[in-house]
Chains A and B, each alone.
Chain A
Amino acid sequence: MHKVLIIDDEDDIREVAALSLEAVGGWSVITAPSGAEGIRMAATEQPDAILLDVMMPEMDGPTTFRNLQANPATQNIPVLLLTAKVQGVDQRRFASLGVKAVLFKPFDPLTLSGEMAAVLGWTE
């Protein structure tokens, strides 16, 4: 079973994403409410993928991603950014970071796991 780490400061997003990935995707989900906590959990829990929010207080998504990349224990974990920014300039900036994909809020809870699986090449 795949294990996904969701890093988002908003409770409702974490809850709905977790519900979606567990109930529809059938995956195991762990969550973190901040970039710092997410980095710690990624190193200890070794998830198969990370769903990372862009806009968070203190440590935002891009900074969290750079920290994950700088750590040999987490640098190979694929990261999918999650953003509510729809402008092209933002999308290009996020994509240029080197993340696996940029997904958009609001996501459809019934299709989120399918979108992630397609990006990650998870077929079963």
Chain B
Amino acid sequence: MTSPAAKTAQLLAVLWERNLPIVEERLALLDTAVSTLLRTATLDPQLQIDAANVAHKLAGTLGMFGYPRGTDLARLMEEVLELQDPLSPVEAQQLQDWLIELKTVLAK
């Protein structure tokens, strides 16, 4: 007989697969924001808000699917994207590094 924990783990795996398109959509938006920032040194305010929102959502969900490092990285990105001052080249590079690591973590 399957234990509740084993059953939950199995169903979580199914839910993760089903939600992958949403995760990929969120990563794509972060990609757009970070690449725009690196290329132009500016970020449209609405795009920055949207990027902060998807980083927040990723931070809140990745850990429950077994990606605690993903939550940490998304949270770091959210904190920078929520800054009111224009983002510096150093912060832009940080965002890029975290995004690359996040994609690597999720690809495992």
Docked Cα-Cα span, A108 to B9, in Å, equals: 11
Interface hits, B47-71 → A, CB 8 Å: 56-57, 59-65, 68, 71
Interface class of chain A by DSSP: loop
* Minimal beta-carbon separation of A61 from chain B (angstroms): 13
The answer to whether A105 touches B4 (Cβ under 8 A) is no
**Please, which residues of chain B bring their CB within 8 A of the CB of A108?**
63-64
Q: Interface extent on A, as a size class?
A: 20 to 34
At the interface, yes or no: A10 with Cβ under 8 Å from chain B?
yes
Least distance between B57 CB and chain A CB atoms (Å):
6
Bound Cα distance A122, B79 (Å):
36
Contact flags (1/0) for A43-58 with B, using CB distance below 8 Å? 0000000000001000
- Is A109 among interface residues, defined by CB-CB distance under 8 A? yes
Q: Which chain B residue has the least Cβ–Cβ distance from A105?
A: B60
Give the number of chain B interface residues (Cβ < 8 Å).
22
Interface of B is mostly: helix
Q: In this assembly, does B83 line the interface, its C-beta being within 8 Å of a C-beta of chain A?
A: no
B8 touches A11 (CB 8 A): no
Q: Does A102 belong to the interface (CB within 8 Å)?
A: no
Of A15-23, A33-41, A67-75, A91-99, the one with at least 4 CB within 8 A of chain B: A15-23
B60 and A110 form a contact (CB under 8 A): no
**Contact indicator B4/A109 (Cβ below 8 Å):** no
- The residue on A at minimum CB distance from B70 is A106
Cβ of B22 within 8 Å of any chain A Cβ, yes or no, is: yes
Are B7's CB and A23's CB within 8 A?
yes
Q: List 6 A-B contacts (CB under 8 A).
A: A13-B61, A16-B12, A16-B61, A20-B8, A23-B7, A26-B4
Interface of A toward B, CB cutoff 8 Å = 10-13, 15-16, 19-20, 23-24, 26, 55, 84, 86, 105-110
Closest 4 CB pairs of A and B: A106-B63, A84-B60, A105-B60, A106-B64
